Structure 1
Amino acid sequence: MNPPKPPRPVKSISELLAATTARAIPVVRGVEAGALTAPTPCADYDVRDLINHLLHVVVNFQALAAKRDSDFSTTPDRVSAAGADGGGWQRLFADETDRLVAAWAAAGAEDGTTGTLGLPARTVGHMVLADLTVHVWDLARATGQAYRPDPDVVAELGPAVADMASMAREWEAFGEAVSLPEDATPFERLLATTGRDPRWSPAR
């Protein structure tokens, strides 16, 4: 009989975000200006819209880490403001995700509750971790890039995304779960829980 595996060490939200952004930044840098109008697995977003959404999420979750108010009422066009020439919005994404990691590393960031719904702070951290992980996959698929999320992030998000799925569908943030074959990978199952088809491509 094989001995039981030791329990997986619990990583902080900041550590998990650092692992995710390290893999996200190359994908965002790989998005060329000519691809900004391309479709993505999110039917309501083209590539520009999705990058603007991600930047909006990253900025607001910095505030949530500090137990400050967030504002998701409108999404600014940060891509246009930063400028496509010279990689303006690519640099902005790298800078803002660095700030996000630092915000969640601050003392007390994972303690208590945060946000208008008064959710546990670590649950809120899972929300931004999921947004970054899944939406960067969206961008990679939309622009023909490879993307492999960090295994520890996927292991952390699997049960967290399953727990938040019902609430996320009420908010229309997730679609209905997609059926997968039995040999689907953990990340494919995570994507399917959010309503995404892991086989999505622009041609489909």
Structure 2
Amino acid sequence: MTNSISDLLRSAADQAVPIVRGITDDHLADPTPCAEYDVRQLTDHLMQVVINFQALAAKQHPDFGVEPHFVEEGGDWRARFAAETAALVSAWAAPGAEEGSSGKMGLPARTVGKMVLGDLTVHAWDLARATGQEFTPDAVVVAEVWPAIAELAPKAREGGVFAEPVTVGTEVSDFDRVLALTGRDPQWRAS
């Protein structure tokens, strides 16, 4: 049985929302496993992804060209993230969201849905690691993300979205393999 993108996103959001709620204002300038982002920038990026993939579910054109600034110290961005992830789940539950193609690249809509599923899951791990929180992704989500990331990794690397893969041993989890494929060291910890 194939899991719907909306059900998978609901599970990923259930894991990601508590991580974002656990980010304190004094974490915002801390480094993350994504060397080009600190916690504030990565949270802004993830919020932008969540919002833009709502548009992609509706076969509309997203706007990734604007630098995001959702996170403000003392603001209610944590509650907004929860609301936007709920809207993302609803957008992908809409009739036709998983059908046809979506986005300028003309990718199958289900592939696009798995892209945001991967972002939500991997960036939740990034933010958890950066802020000293525990994160264990849903095994069903990882089972969907792993082959999608493996398929998309060469193009993502070519486009500068993923770094070069990190070598990991044979006795690691599928999620560690996902992280390694995206150029992350699964052992990364905040110093």
Provide TM-score, normalisation by structure 2.
0.98
Q: Residue 77 of structure 2 is aligned with which of 86, 89, 107?
A: 89
Letter in 1 for 2:58: A
| Runs of 4+ with >3 A deviation | none
Letter in 2 for 1:68: Q
- Whether 1:17 and 2:5 are equivalent positions in the alignment is no
Aligned counterpart, 2:22: 30
- Whether 1:159 and 2:159 are equivalent positions in the alignment is no
1:37-76 matches, cutoff 5 A: 37-76=29-68
Letter in 2 for 1:138: D
Unaligned runs of 5+ in 1: 1-8
1:116-135 matches, cutoff 5 A: 116-135=104-123
**Cα distance in 2 between the residues matched to 1:54 and 1:114:** 19
**Cα distance in 2 between the residues matched to 1:78 and 1:160:** 28
Shift of 1:201: 1.2
Superposed CA RMSD in Å reads 0.8
Aligned counterpart, 1:181: 169
**Cα distance in 2 between the residues matched to 1:171 and 1:55:** 21
SS in 1 for 2:117: helix
Alignment deviations for residues 20-69 of structure 1 (CA, whole Å, 9 cap, x no partner) = 00011111110000100000000000000000000000000000000011
Calculate percent identity across the aligned residue pairs. Answer: 55
Letter in 2 for 1:25: V
Aligned counterpart, 1:3: none
Letter in 1 for 2:61: D
**Cα distance in 1 between the residues matched to 2:104 and 2:29:** 33
**Cα distance in 2 between the residues matched to 1:96 and 1:141:** 22
Q: Residue 79 of structure 1 is aligned with which of 55, 71, 85?
A: 71
Aligned counterpart, 2:101: 113
SS in 2 for 1:107: coil
Unaligned runs of 5+ in 2: none
Alignment deviations for residues 138-179 of structure 1 (CA, whole Å, 9 cap, x no partner) = 000000000000000001111110000011101111111111
**Cα distance in 2 between the residues matched to 1:28 and 1:108:** 30
SS in 1 for 2:34: coil
**Cα distance in 1 between the residues matched to 2:96 and 2:109:** 9
Give the total of aligned pairs: 191
SS in 2 for 1:199: coil
Shift of 1:202: 2.1
Shift of 1:76: 2.1
